[in-house]
Structure 1
Amino acid sequence: MAREPHQDTSGSDGASASFGFRTVPLGDKQEMVDTVFHRVASRYDLMNDLMSAGMHRLWKDAMVSWLSPPHAGKRPWAVLDVAGGTGDIATRIVERSQGHAQAIVCDINNSMLTVGRDRAAKAKLSNAIRFAQGNAEDLPFPDARFDAYTIAFGIRNVPRIERALAEAHRVLKTGGRFLCLEFSAVDVPGLDRFYDAYSFNAIPALGKMVTGDADSYQYLVESIRKFPTQERFAQMIRTAGFSRVSYRNLSGGIAAIHSGWKL
């Protein structure tokens, strides 16, 4: 699958960022991304089911399995799930840990957080999962606060990925784990062409049918193509200060889980 060159958006005034296939002023991207997720929040997980034929659930389960949250310990195990507004990953972690994990879901988009709070309350998990509005590039938490940092299908929407990775490193304790689940570069011949055709034709049409909004899903498809390849993203994680960086491809590289440790 052809990839656009990754843009370095960590510069100063006049810097730009990609918004799908468009280049926009860096300062404008976050508001544009927020608008997308305000539009799709109420149907976000439903659309994930439809777009991936339910595969996103297996990918998220694989991520939590690799994280392997502990079931016991002298103190609760603290995890920060960033850009996880609906609480999907946090719920899995808390349940997998048999209640030992205490999760904070941090998302910049209040519409997504509202969905997550409602779901946590219905699942009687409000004591185990807290929700906080915040920016991945400037997290509202102290240094060395968390045992684990997770982010699923969110980091590609951050205007300055390098800053988000630096913040992940900052808030983790020594010995803490970074895990990122994200769409990636397909590495199976033939599958890449099918995936491109499906993504650019079926997904926006599906978004229009289910949510009345094709444009948001056109952006989401384009943002996947603009995201760095597995190896390039792994190098970005290393540059942020993480050690023992590795990744696992899922479904032929349609998605990948990246792992790193703060040592």
Structure 2
Amino acid sequence: MEADPIRRDPEDVKRLFARVSARYDAINRAMCGGLDVLWRGRLAKTAAALARENGGGGKKKYLDIACGSGDVCARLLGEDPDCSVVGVDFCPEMLALAREKCGGRAEFAEADCRSLPFSESSFDAATISFGFRNFADRPACLREIARVLKTGAPLCVLEVARAEGPLFETAQKFFMCSAVPLIAKAFGGRREDYEYLAKTTMEYPRRAEVEKMFANAGFAEIRTRAMAFGMVAIVSGKKRETA
């Protein structure tokens, strides 16, 4: 079990996201200067491309985990209009936003990633955007995702990454721990909620450890694509036949 001194009980995290849900998109756009829209678009493109590479024919079925307000679900529908998309989140308030954003074009379910309500080998690809760092048991979640993916199907995770080098690491720490809570407060959010989210960023494992978690959970062909001076990354892996 990985050590994380700031990990909260999942119910506490659920209440946190319920509180921030109404301002979630606006604060994200402000924090990232709108770049989060571009990053989520790249995540959807990556997942769709890898799903097509895996073949199998027919309509692709995507699973977006910790779907939040539904940005990636909408992006996946844009990348592959003939696909079906299922979004899961453990926060009902977020799911309400996602349903509104997708206008009935996607299905949604309230679920914890540690116990997904789907059969084995149900999906052609899975995505997570800016949610993986908040999972209470990341290795268990990865194993559960592998269970519901078809053999060779990709998992693509968009997440913050620990900046490399003292200069970028110092800048990232200042921005996340000082600037982000102030931005949230300016939008009417609770500073302490975003202090927690900032701390989860700084405690997030480095690239090698994340890739090792993927491998241990049954994924192969693991790749990391760094963006924003290494402070954001898309990690992808394909379910091994023996996963």
Give distance in 2, aligned partners of 1:176 and 1:212. Answer: 38
2:82 to 81, 84, 100: 100
Q: 1:247 touches 1:257 (CA, 8 Å); kept in 2?
A: yes
Match of 2:229, SS state, is helix
State the match for 1:8 in structure 2: 2
TM-score under structure 1 length normalisation: 0.85
Give, as a single letter, the amino acid of the residue that structure 1 aligns with 2:127. T
Residue 189 of structure 1 and its aligned partner are, at CA, apart by 4.9
Equivalent residue for 1:86, pick from 69, 74, 77: 69
Is 1:219 matched with 2:202?
Answer: no
1:71-118 Cα offsets, whole Å, 9 max, x none, are x98522000000012110011011011x12210000011010011111
Moved more, 41-50 or 207-216: 207-216
SS in structure 2 of the partner of residue 135 of structure 1: coil
Paired residue for 1:14? none
Q: Contact 1:79–1:104 (CA<8 Å) still a contact in 2?
A: yes
Taking the aligned partners of 2:69 and 2:174, their CA distance within structure 1 comes to 29
AA aligned to 2:41 is D
The question of whether the paired residues in 2 share the 8 Å contact of 1:40 and 1:211 is answered with no
Please list, as runs of the form range in 1=range in 2, the aligned pairs for 1:13-28 lying within 5 A after superposition. Answer: 17-19=4-6
Residue 246 of structure 1: CA displacement? Answer: 1.3
Aligned-pair CA distance for 1:166: 0.3
Identity %: 29
Gaps of 5+ in 1: 1-6, 10-16
Residue aligning to 1:3: none
1:41 corresponds, among 5, 21, 32, to: 21
- The secondary structure found in structure 2 opposite 1:103 is strand
Q: What secondary structure sits across from 2:151 in the alignment?
A: strand
Partner of 1:120: 102
Q: Distance in 2 between matches of 1:138 and 1:31?
A: 15
**TM-score w.r.t. length of structure 2:** 0.92
For residues 202-252 of structure 1, what are the alpha-carbon distances to aligned partners after superposition, in whole Å with 9 as ceiling and x for unaligned?
A: 111111121231011000000011111011000000000111111111111
Q: Does 1:51 align with 2:31?
A: yes
Q: CA–CA distance in 1 between the matches of 2:175 and 2:124?
A: 38
Q: Residue 177 of structure 2 aligns with which residue?
A: 200
Q: Does 1:32 align with 2:19?
A: no
1:28-87 deviation digits (Å, cap 9, x = unpaired):
x101111110110111111110011111112112212222355x9852200000001211
Instruction: Count residues with an aligned counterpart.
Output: 236
When the two chains are superposed, the root-mean-square deviation of aligned CA atoms in Å is 1.7
What letter matches 2:30 in structure 1? L
Give structure 2 stretches of 5+ with no counterpart.
none
